Structure 1
Amino acid sequence: MVHTSLDVVDEKISAMGKALVDQRELYLGLLYPTEDYKVYGYVTNSKVKFVMVVDSSNTALRDNEIRSMFRKLHNSYTDVMCNPFYNPGDRIQSSRSVFLCRAFDSTVTSMMIQVC
């Protein structure tokens, strides 16, 4: 399901083309709905892709809330990547940037609690 969604992300990015950069709208919306799950997507300016899978029975989450969660995730991810002690390509749980990794982990954990 996630692999199929990544194909949809690539299609949306190529369809938007330069408009994606001009609009600064990084949220791609609902990518792949199924009976059991809904898959949402987000792409950063540097083409890093975030995919979120939500249970279809969760009707409490609206599009604006999903968009807000992606922005929070993106901000936390940016904080980790901007850390001078982080080596690009390392896992985010790198021992050199423990504080920022904990912050990233707590952001992801709080998002998962919110979704559940």
Structure 2
Amino acid sequence: MACSVAIISKDNSPLYVLAADIEKEIELQYCFHSALDIVEEKSNTANKNPDTRDLFLGLLYATELYKIYGYMTNTKIKFILIVDSLNSAFRENEIRAMFRSIHIEYVNYISNPFIIPNEQIFSKTFDRNIRNICKV
């Protein structure tokens, strides 16, 4: 089970944030913002090596309570996933699959001609689908 998911725009503003535990939402947002620095660092390193096409950034960092993973699309939209450190049930391939599913949901959402790109996501359908993917 993922603790939290965030979709961040290319200018680092949050488009969508899902926290499983509302009481820890501020702490999780701090983790998201800390992870953005690492995402930027990894993306700059990846830009120097054009052979790297993997969107999955891997484990960004870990704390005593959480493991923070990152994924960045070709359009610089960032997905951050926070999982409980005590839950060792997640393997890297499962995290990758979650990110791919979240990416597909985001593409389906953004393909709607009636939404405004780079605006916060308030869709109940999108929220329900992300909750199902992340088992929140």
TM-score (norm 1): 0.82
Partner of 2:86: 57
The alignment yields a C-alpha RMSD, in angstroms, of 1.7
Equivalent position SS for 1:58: coil
Return the index of the structure with the highest Cα Rg: 1
Partner of 1:5: 35
Structure 1 residues 87, 52: closer, same or farther in 2, change over 3 A?
Answer: same
Structure 1 position 67, deviation (Å): 0.4
Partner of 1:108: 130
Gaps of 5+ in 2: 1-30
Contact persistence 2:98–2:134 (CA under 8 A): no
Structure 1 position 7, deviation (Å): 0.5
Structure 1 position 9, deviation (Å): 0.4
- Structure holding more helix per residue: 1
Which residue, out of 46, 55, 65, partners 1:16? 46
The answer on 1:91 being equivalent to 2:114 is no
Which structure 1 residue ranges, 4+ long, deviate > 4 Å from structure 2? Answer: none
Q: Which AA in structure 2 matches 1:67?
A: R
The answer on 1:43 being equivalent to 2:65 is no
Distance 2:120 2:36 in 1: 21
Residue identity over aligned pairs, in percent, reads 46
- Structure holding more strand per residue: 2
Distance 1:62 1:32 in 2: 15
Structure 1 position 75, deviation (Å): 0.6
Gaps of 5+ in 1: 94-100
The answer on 1:82 being equivalent to 2:104 is no
Distance 1:23 1:32 in 2: 20
Structure 1 position 18, deviation (Å): 5.1
Question: Does 1 or 2 have the higher relative contact order (CA < 8 Å, sep 6+)?
Answer: 2
